[in-house]
Structure 1
Amino acid sequence: MSYTQPKVKLRLCEHLRVQAPHLFTRASSTIMDPSLPMRHQFNQVPGIPNFPSDTPYTSSNQVAVPTPDQLYDNRNIDQSNTAQADQPLNVLWRGKLARNGKKLIDSMALHISGQCSNILNEKLDVINITHRSKWEDVSKNVPIAVFSLQALNASRMDSFTEYIDYFQSKDRIGVAPLGNDYNIYICAPGNPLFDKHAQESSVPILIGIAASTNAQDQNTQTQSNVRSQPENVGDWLNQLNTITAMLGTKK
């Protein structure tokens, strides 16, 4: 005899419809209708701000691509910075060159030899040439610093060249007293002192030689002592010969 389990009708679906009706309902927002715009496919979620669903950027907000002329337009670049970048790296001084307080030219100095920083420091704003001298007299001084001078930028080149022409026409060296027993002597091309110290340069230059005025006085005093020494020796020999002659006469 076989056992057969009695059939029991379960009304589970009806029970779930009562206890969990959300299982049998589907919100319309989850249905994606391709025919509708995207902004109508989502409903507001509690706790999240409702941002506009329209496209945030319109044609008026688009960034225009710059033209080549705009990319390479140098009109707004500071020309002073450009000139500064073109200057040599070994510049030790920037200031003005003047003659008797006039004809001021923006210039810069480059080191050649000696202790240039002791002469060309931040306290020196202007190298003011007050008078001229012969190169033979200046050559007697012992240089403590030698440097070259040139125009600060191309816009000052003509004025700087006028300085060179001036000292060449005068066949003289410019003298700029510093007020502390030192002078700066400015030499133009063609001068023997310029040829002695100048280095190769692609731009017009002047040579500056710093020397102590006390050294020149000491050299002058030394030379005078050397010149007077033979005269004193000659007088002493003459006196000795005279005394010897007198002694021989008495015998």
Structure 2
Amino acid sequence: MESQAPVTKRVVESLAPSPVRVETELFMPQGSGFGASGAGALSSAYAINGAFDLALTASGVGEAAHRAEVASGTGLGDVIAQNAGGLVVRLSPGAPGVGSVDRIPVPPLRIGFIVRGPLSTEEVLSDPSVMRGVNREGERALKELLRRPTLERFVFLSWEFARLSGLAKDWMEDAVEAVEASGGSASMVMLGDAVFAVGGAEALAEFGDVISARVSLGGAGLE
């Protein structure tokens, strides 16, 4: 599916010193909580930095992508996590170089997920009542995670957050229970009409087509 990629366009216009044609190719579903807009902006920022010899650090590149995403209303913290790679815990808000993150040590995990459809991040972020619940439950979940930062605790608290904040949909309850009955753990993809599973992903097959991906430990960069 082709897109005008407004977030990527914004970061290109902010960085490129002269007109340039940029094309990005994404292999993840758009609008379903996988940070596609941030990834497109971040990868383009790295490419422009290299092509025009802008001499930006990784944090500088990330800051440009983060600003473009925030200005577009498509996300608040995807870019700093994508720049770091791995199982990221965001400790304080802000762009790379401003916000702070840590990582829970994990191997390059294989994750299974299903996608029912997109959710509008912009609509969620602009709804004060929803955001009050998100902020309240997010702060509580982060404190709980930092007491015992493990993969298992992360997935458990992620699902608890999705339910208590009101973001989770009814079908997700059944999908998560099916995964747990198969010995795995699962939660909602933020923000999308989608569920991911760590182990037991085969149980998701009754709810949709299961897609597999691997957690990248290296973060963003040029190849």
Where is the strand percentage greater, Structure 1 or Structure 2?
1
Where is the helix percentage greater, Structure 1 or Structure 2?
2
Alignment TM-score, normalising by the size of structure 1 = 0.24
Alignment TM-score, normalising by the size of structure 2 = 0.26
Higher relative contact order (CA 8 A, sep 6+): 2
If you compute each CA radius of gyration, which structure gives the higher value, 1 or 2? 1
